[in-house]
Amino acid sequence: MAKFVLAGKANCPYFAKAELLADLLQRSLPKFSIHTLCMHPDEWQQWLETTCKENGWQHEHSPMIWRELINRGGKGMLLGGFSDFLEHVQAYYGFTSDMTTELMMKIATENLLTRELCMKEEVYHQSLIKPLHIWISSALNPTCYILIPQLFAPGVFRDTPTISLHLLDVGAIDEDLQGVRMETEDLALPQLNKVTVYTELDQAFQQAHFIILLDDSWPECGGEDEEESKVRKVSERYQQYGRLIDERAHKNVAVIVAGNSLVNLKCSLLLENAPSVDSGRFVGMATQLEYEARAHIAQKLSVKTADVTDVIVWGNISGSSHVDLQRAKVFQYEGAIWGPSDFSQPVLKMIYDMKWLQTDFLNLVSSQRATVASKSQRATAISATNGIIAVLKAWNCNSSAEEVLSLGILSTGQYNLPAGVVFSMPVSFQDGRWSVLSDVIISDEMRAKLQIAADQLREEKDLASRTRKDTA
């Protein structure tokens, strides 16, 4: 079967003439098929340039006709414009066209009116769709690759008909991001409205409902101390992020800061630069660290990681943090006392090896990500994704009010902690909002550890402030 594609501007008389001739051929010949692409004049030039570039063709005017050598969308052989098409069908099929100029102009006018009406209908139908806008920064990060399909899993977002996914990676190669976009579209997810990619900040965080920040890699700066260089780059980027979020995102946006370095500082910088957004809408993700601690406790007690709950992480998520087990429970533990599936026992009473808790356990947790990375030769993207999804589920009312999560949040003096710093502490979610647990005991020994973390966080903020002044 002969398969052709006819493309042109809606107001082009020769497109109208070619279209009528093609219809005649399709009705008259059983093995002739044509697909028509009628475009508004405003769409035509960009489409023409892109199509010719992709196929290696040279063509400048409307219409453009090619023959498909395989199914529509595959490789094609360019015929040319109307005259080339007419010459081809005269030679192969013995058909010609005697359409008058007056009729050509009339049909072209009708085509344009029809195309404009279709475009208005498309805009109207799009306006009826109210998608949830999710932005992910550092979208080429391995965590993003694993995170994307998990965002559409049942229970992550409640009562959400569609999701528009925006992938941002400043300074990245556009082709790399386009590859991620294409793979995401290949998933054929019913909830997915569209995927857009960005390598610049000019449109970042427009209409954002959820923002997941994965930035963790910063270019080296010659002549600077490594830590100072990193803090300066983080400070510059996250000040920009904060201002853009303040200007462009929804005021009830939820922002999750993830990563392996300066998580608390990043969250603090966002808060400082987005004053019109409620401070409770910014959190640093400590859940990955929390799950890593749960995994080691589970191994010690010979249970599954899911059987260990209510582990708390305090302090600097990517620095001086403290793992608190005072509320931690273990289920399904085969000890002296056994009960039904919902029966739990305190972890501290089940682990008798206090030396292990005070030394080996803390070392194992602090080195977990480096250990995994050395064995797998990649970042701990799976566990990072799991931590993000846990926070999203809780924020979207898909977790129990009794579930304890550790999050980096702005301290207002809870537990006599310094106010004004982002500090990881235990929270529970209810009706889409978190609240700090009030029944946790802070011993003198623990308070000393938390003070170390608070001092470290203040030093990070001071360093960020100094680097900003140096570059002002």
| CATH number of the domain residue 92 falls in | 3.40.30.10
Number of domains forming the structure of the chain: 3
Which of residues 76, 100, 126 is at a domain's end?
126
319-352 residues labelled b (16+ CB within 10 A) or e (exposed): bbbbbbbebbbbbbbeeeeeeeeeebbebeebbe
Q: Is residue 246 part of a domain?
A: yes
Residue 48, helix vs strand vs coil: helix
- Are the C-beta atoms of residues 288 and 387 closer than 8 Å to each other? yes
- Digit-by-digit pLDDT tens for the chain (472 residues) are 678 899 999 999 999 999 999 888 888 888 888 889 999 999 999 999 989 988 889 999 999 999 887 554 456 789 999 999 999 989 888 888 888 888 888 888 988 898 888 888 877 665 556 889 999 999 999 999 999 999 999 889 877 678 999 999 999 999 999 999 999 999 999 999 999 999 999 999 999 999 999 998 765 555 557 788 888 899 999 999 999 999 999 999 999 999 999 999 999 999 999 999 999 999 999 999 999 999 999 999 999 999 999 999 999 999 999 999 999 999 999 877 878 888 999 999 999 888 898 889 988 998 898 888 888 888 889 999 999 999 999 998 777 778 899 999 999 999 988 899 999 999 999 888 999 998 899 999 999 999 999 999 999 988 888 887 665 5
Q: Looking at the domain assignment, is residue 42 inside a domain?
A: yes
Residue 468 domain-assigned (yes or no): no
The reported pLDDT for the residue numbered 470 is 63
**Do residues 262 and 113 share a domain?**
no
Residues 323 and 377 in one domain: yes
Cα distance between residue 438 and residue 454, in whole Å: 19
In a domain, 472, yes or no: no
Same domain (yes/no): 91, 143: no
Closest to 418 measured CA to CA, from 453, 383, 372, 470: 453
167 shares its domain with 258: yes
Cα 158 to Cα 285, 393, 399: the distances in Å are 21, 9, 11
Between CA 388 and CA 369 the distance in angstroms is: 16
Residue 151 main-chain phi, psi, to 5 deg: -60, -25
Residue 279: which region, alpha, beta or left (left: phi > 0; alpha: psi -120 to 50)? alpha
pLDDT of the residue at 165: 96
Residues 6 or more apart whose CB falls under 8 angstroms from that of 73 comprise none
Select from 245, 261, 282 the last residue of a domain: 282
146 & 162 share domain: yes
Tokens coding 156? 């992550």
In-domain check, residue 414:
yes
Which of the 8 DSSP states describes residue 399? S
Residues 303 and 204 in one domain: no
| Residue 470 in domain | no
Selection from 46, 37, 41, 40 nearest residue 65 by Cα: 37
Q: What is the pLDDT of residue 256?
A: 98
351 in any annotated domain: yes
For residue 374, the domain's CATH number is: 3.90.110.10
Domain identity same for 336 and 451: yes
Distance of CA 462 to the CA centre of its chain: 31
Same domain, yes or no: 245 and 386:
no
Looking at the DSSP bridge assignments, the partners of residue 299 are none
pLDDT on residue 288? 93
Indicate whether 337 and 384 sit together in one domain. yes
Note the pTM of the prediction, 2 decimals. 0.75
Place of tokens 């990563």: 259
Whether 158 and 109 map to the same domain: the answer is no
Query: Has residue 19 been placed in a domain?
Result: yes
pLDDT computed for residue 337 by the predictor:
80
Pick the last residue of a domain from 256, 282, 308: 282
Give the tokens for residue 392: 């999203």
State residue 72's pLDDT score.
47
67/171 same-domain check: no
Q: What residue numbers bound the domain in which 262 lies?
A: 131-282
Please say whether the beta carbons of 372 and 288 come within 8 A.
no
Q: How far is CA 135 from CA 173, 187, 396, in A?
A: 18, 18, 16
The CATH number given to whatever domain includes residue 208 is 3.40.50.720
Q: Quick one: 324 and 416 in the same domain?
A: yes
